[in-house]
Structure 1
Amino acid sequence: PKRAEPLSEWFISQFERHYNGSRAPFPVFMHAAWFTRSPEYFKAYQ
Structure 2
Amino acid sequence: MSSQCYTREFKDEAVLEVDLWWLRWREVWLALIFGRNQLLESD
Q: Please, what TM-score do these two structures have when normalized by structure 2?
A: 0.43
Q: Which has the larger radius of gyration?
A: 2
Q: Please, what TM-score do these two structures have when normalized by structure 1?
A: 0.40
